[in-house]
Each structure stands twice: as structure tokens, then as C-alpha cells.
Amino acid sequence: MAKTLGYARISTDDGQDITSQKTRLEELGAVVVFCDVGNGSSLNGRDQLEAALRLIEPGDELLALHPDRLARDTGDLLTIAKRIVEKKAVLRVHDPMIRFDGSDIMGELMLTLFGMIGSVEKHFIKARQRRGIEAAKLKDVYKGRPATIDPHQIKQLRAKGMRPTDIARELKIGRASVYRALAA
């Protein structure tokens, strides 16, 4: 029997709540909702999306509320759609209403269009972020990402005679990080 699988995604746990997406997908008929927390600019690390794509069967549909919940890139969005169609299933996006089963060029056109819009939106987000960082640097309030490696600890271990490779292994960091800390 065909079923509807829902897919929801939020960018971060910080202040965002996936509950409203999940609830709406259930109202639209999703029997199971797969939820990811993470950046939509890449398919990497989207374990729940992968799980949904593995579980989808012929006749099923994967439902997302908006194209940007699936991907912010044309290629990624079309890759997802084609993986679904290869399983003889359907991709459905609620807003704007898109139903893609691989048989209609208009569905592919709509996915391509909204994938391009997502790419442009991603570009603008990064541009705004860069401008914000530059403005913060001018005001001398931008400090960058907090250090996660203690260079003092690295130098102490080196003074004890440890090799950089052993220091990296001990601290569970990359060797290049050890060399950078020692050179600083």
C-alpha cells in the first residue's frame, strides 16, 4: 500500500523549531516525518533524508513543504527527485505545488527553477554574511571562530619530547594543526 513520507529540515537548533513543519506534513498525509537539522546547501550529513530515500518504495511519495527544505541547489534538488523517480515513487512539494514523477517535463522545469532560486538565495545569504563580517572587522568586534585547540598544551607536549604525529593523536586533532601551533 502506497504511503506518504514527509521530510522536514531546519538550518540550526538555535531558535528554530521543526515542530510546525512536522505537524503540517502530518496534516497533509505524511505517515512518517523524517527531520534533519543542518545546512541545506549540501546533501552531506542529511541522514534523515538518506533514510527516507532508502525506505521509499514504488507508489510512495516523499512530501516536503517547500523546495528549499529539500535543497538550496538545482543539482541537489534534481538528484533527490531522480532518486525518488528511480524507485518508481513521486516527489511532492506543497508550496509551490509541484508533483514530480518523471513523466512531466513541467515538473522538472519547476524543480529546476526553484533549485535556481535556492542557489541565488544561498549566494545572497553568503554575501550578506561576508558584508557583516567585514563591517564587524572594521569596528574591531569580529574575533572569528573561537579557538578549539590550545597551542600552549601542544607546546608543552612538544617540550616533553612528543612528536607532532603523537601530539595530534593524543589531542585528537590533525597534524597540520599541531604544526601551525608550533610555528606560531
Termini Cα distance of the chain: 63
Share of the chain above pLDDT 90, in %: 59
Dihedral over alpha carbons 98, 4, 79, 106 (to 10 degrees): -20
State yes or no: pLDDT of 106 exceeds 80: yes
State yes or no: pLDDT of 6 exceeds 80: yes
Q: What's the pLDDT score for residue 41?
A: 67
Q: What is the pLDDT of residues 146-172, one digit of tens each?
A: 877 888 899 999 999 999 999 999 888
Q: Which three cell numbers stand for residue 81?
A: 527527485
pTM: 0.70
Asked if the 4-121 domain carries CATH number 3.90.700.10, the reply is no
